[in-house]
Amino acid sequence: MSSSQYPLRQSGIFRNLPSFDPALKGLKAIVCGATGISGFHVIKALLDTPDRWSKIYALSRSPLSKEILAFLTEEQRSRIQHISIDFSSSGEQIAKSLKDAGASADYVFYYAYISPKAGKNLLEDFCQENSETDWSIVMPTAIVGATQYPSMNMFLSFGVYTAVQAHKKEPLRFGGDWAPWQFNAGHSTAQLTDYLSEWAALEEQCKNQRFNAQDGGLLSWDRFYHKLAHESKYQVMDFAGRKDAPLGHGPPLNLRLSYPLVKWSEEPSTTKAWEEMMAQSNGQLQKNLFAGNSQDVFMGNFSFLPFGTFSTNKTRRFGFCGCVDTLESIFEMYQQIEKLGMLPPMKVDAARPLI
């Protein structure tokens, strides 16, 4: 039965996670790339539910380190069996290692960082030839998570940078310009991505589908640098730009428009066209939007300024999970404007949602 029939659950900082039919238990998984940033966190995500996964075969060349295993309880560790396998060896060799270790699985989670040699659709092709097998693909952005290796963790470098600058008593400098400073980007925390991987594997409706993975709220570099300063208690920052910049720091904002809408709206051919449309609309178009102050109506492209977007973290954290597909709401708004006599009728019945 789908997880939609069961209440949402919380695990530490991870909120609104799906829960599943309690009858779904005693499953076995093979996790390839178990020591990596994704692989280790899928192991953590699977072990987060006491009875669902009874056994996890953890595959990689090197073993899980003592330090990384210390993130798990003894009971969780007892459900893991590491098998040392090199995926660049022959199929026979890999099969033998799995057989010798007595491995079997209901699900395979693949996160070993090697590219398939025989083309992009290897997984889909295999599943098509073996109809009892299904696939799903989860696609994160840059991953946030701790592993036994320092690589593949973009934010680690900034932590090191802050520590070193504080030690040297030198300011924190942001190396980019205004656009990235306030630009909100999505990030993918490894463990949330791997709860998503478990959900995609267990949900009937997710068979043979791909999913983007993203934490929820977006993060801009200014928020991140202030976090760096706060957490290191090293508040010394240095920015270019200063008095000409919107917030008194960072480079000034420039709105660069190659063809402003206001300019277009003031062209005689534009106003003439609207008048013709009104005359031919059988009373549908009732307002001459070009008659008043064109700055009022045609200032929309101010929003081309990359000034950042709002975070919805707080709203979600306080429990509001509602969302709307913006392309659908724009469509509905156009339909309403049409009723107000300011737009001709839409040519289609529905929007194409952002999915």
Ligand X SMILES: NC(=O)c1ccc[n+]([C@@H]2O[C@H](COP(=O)([O-])OP(=O)(O)OC[C@H]3O[C@@H](n4cnc5c(N)ncnc54)[C@H](OP(=O)(O)O)[C@@H]3O)[C@@H](O)[C@H]2O)c1
Residues that bind ligand X (CB under 6 A): 33-39, 60-62, 85-88, 111-114, 140, 142-143, 147, 152
- Amino acid at site 10: Q
Q: Which is nearer to ligand X, 83 or 285 (CB)?
A: 83
Residues 6+ apart with CB under 8 A from 122: 116
Q: Work out how close the CB of 86 gets to ligand X at its nearest, in angstroms, rounded to a whole number.
A: 4
Q: Which is nearer to ligand X, 40 or 331 (CB)?
A: 40
Q: Work out how close the CB of 153 gets to ligand X at its nearest, in angstroms, rounded to a whole number.
A: 7
Which residue is listed with tokens 């669902």?
52
Q: Work out how close the CB of 140 gets to ligand X at its nearest, in angstroms, rounded to a whole number.
A: 5
Q: Work out how close the CB of 151 gets to ligand X at its nearest, in angstroms, rounded to a whole number.
A: 6
Q: Which is nearer to ligand X, 88 or 295 (CB)?
A: 88
d(CA 28, CA 31): 10
d(CA 74, CA 70): 9
Q: Work out how close the CB of 62 gets to ligand X at its nearest, in angstroms, rounded to a whole number.
A: 4
Q: Which is nearer to ligand X, 61 or 230 (CB)?
A: 61
Q: Work out how close the CB of 59 gets to ligand X at its nearest, in angstroms, rounded to a whole number.
A: 7
Q: Which is nearer to ligand X, 37 or 285 (CB)?
A: 37
Q: How many CB atoms lie within 10 A of CB 185?
A: 14
Q: Which is nearer to ligand X, 139 or 333 (CB)?
A: 139
Q: Which is nearer to ligand X, 152 or 179 (CB)?
A: 152
Phi, psi of 189, deg, nearest 5: -70, 130
Residue nearest to ligand X (CB): 36
DSSP annotation of 346 reads P
Q: Work out how close the CB of 43 gets to ligand X at its nearest, in angstroms, rounded to a whole number.
A: 10
The tokens of 187 are what?
């990030």
Is the CA virtual torsion 182, 186, 187, 189 positive or negative? positive
What does each C-alpha distance from 174 to 7, 82, 118, 181, 223 come to in angstroms?
A: 43, 42, 42, 8, 12
List the one residue out of 46, 337, 311 whose CA is nearest residue 186: 311
Residues 6+ apart with CB under 8 A from 340: 287
Q: Work out how close the CB of 152 gets to ligand X at its nearest, in angstroms, rounded to a whole number.
A: 4
Q: For residue 60, how far is the Cα from the chain centroid?
A: 26
Residues 6+ apart with CB under 8 A from 223: 311
- Amino acid at site 134: D
Q: Which is nearer to ligand X, 111 or 199 (CB)?
A: 111
d(CA 108, CA 105): 7
